[in-house]
Amino acid sequence: MAIEVKIPTILRTYTAGAKAVDGSGETLSALIDDLDASHPGIKGRLITDDGGLHRFVNVYVNDEDVRFTGSLDTALKDGDAVTILPAVAGG
Amino acid sequence: MLSIDRDTRDAILAHARREHPDEACGVVAGAEGSDRPARLLPMRNAARSPTFYEFDSADLLQLYQEMAAKDEEPVVIYHSHTATEAYPSRTDVTYASEPNAHYVLVSTRAADVDEFRSFRIVDGVVTEEPVEVVESYA
């Protein structure tokens, strides 16, 4: 099971500069755990201490924002494409 | 230092005036690694607020996909303040997550004075930088 994950510039320090990496998992939550095993520390940039998705990042599965598809419980299958982007926002 | 052409600078200022009293926001994309802001992309402020701005999540994805397809990156990320100076707010610093981008702040608080400043925001540290306005890139 391979899921391509696009990594934003700010998180490429965890992926040795790679713009995309492969991971696996049946849910987004499992995928992030898998990513963290290969790229230690990346999970902490995506998930808050309370276990929710960080508000500073947007995660898309096949171009759909996961906030509308079950967040970390979003189901994944082989061949899905995941994109992580930092939110662009401010005051 | 941010080097930017006059037309793009003026278009950012005009965008900010148009959106006033709400905050305006957008990106100037450029070839990856070039540090040259080449393509102005005004964005919708999904928050439609005088004190907050946010790219819509679908717009954000489309923007980054388009830039990736053209081997571009966000060279400038800009937004306006409508009642305060053109300096990054605490919220701006919290959200800033493009270490290579020039964060441009514009203020529309005075109708007759243009404020246009540029900053690096890396790991929560704000560093102002000079802005060089060029007529055009040869």
Q: How many domains does chain B have?
A: 1
In this complex, the residue of A60, A86, A91 whose CB is nearest that of residue B97 is A86
A91 falls within a domain: no
Please write the tens of the pLDDT for every residue from A44-62: 999 999 999 999 999 999 9
CATH code of A32's domain = 3.10.20.30
Q: How many domains does chain A have?
A: 1
| List of residues 6+ apart from B16 with CB closer than 8 A | B24, B80, B106, B107, B108
Q: Is the pLDDT of residue A21 over 90?
A: yes
A29 falls within a domain: yes
Does any CB of chain B come closer than 8 Å to the CB of residue A30?
A: no
Q: Mean of the pLDDT values across residues B80-102?
A: 96
DSSP letter assigned to residue B47: T
Which residues of chain B make contact with A59, given a CB cutoff of 8 A? none
Six-digit token string for B138: 């040869």
| C-alpha–C-alpha distance, residues B134 and B7, integer Å | 9
CATH code of B112's domain = 3.40.140.10
In this complex, the residue of B53, B55, B61 whose CB is nearest that of residue A83 is B61
Residue environment code for B80-115, b if the CB has 16+ CB neighbours within 10 A, otherwise e:
bbbeeebebbeebbbbbbbeebbbbbbbbeeeeebb
A34 falls within a domain: yes
Does any CB of chain B come closer than 8 Å to the CB of residue A88?
A: yes
Does any CB of chain B come closer than 8 Å to the CB of residue A56?
A: yes
Asked if residues B109 and B85 have their Cβ atoms less than 8 Å apart, the reply is yes
A60 falls within a domain: yes
Does any CB of chain A come closer than 8 Å to the CB of residue B22?
A: no
- With CB atoms and an 8 Å threshold, state whether A83 touches B91: no
Q: What is the pLDDT of residue B137?
A: 78
Please write the tens of the pLDDT for every residue from B100-109: 999 999 999 9
Cβ pairs A/B, distance under 8 A: 67
- With CB atoms and an 8 Å threshold, state whether A58 touches B57: yes
Q: What is the mean pLDDT of chain B?
A: 97
Strand pairing class (A3-6; A81-86): parallel
Q: What is the pLDDT of residue B136?
A: 86
B31 by DSSP, 3-state: which? strand
How far does the CA of residue A6 sit from the closest CA of chain B (Å)?
11
Rg, chain B, Cα only = 14
| B60 C-beta neighbours (distance < 10 Å), count | 23
How confident is residue B94, by pLDDT bands cut at 50, 70 and 90? very high
Q: In three state form, how does the secondary structure of B66-105 look?
A: HHHHCCEEEEEEEEEECCCCCCCCHHHHHHCCCCCCEEEE
Element (H, E) at B34: none
| C-alpha–C-alpha distance, residues B13 and B111, integer Å | 11
| C-alpha–C-alpha distance, residues B86 and B13, integer Å | 12
Q: What is the pLDDT of residue B43?
A: 98
Does any CB of chain A come closer than 8 Å to the CB of residue B87?
A: no
| C-alpha–C-alpha distance, residues B80 and B31, integer Å | 24
Range of the domain at B46: 2-134
Does any CB of chain A come closer than 8 Å to the CB of residue B5?
A: no
Range of the domain at A19: 3-86
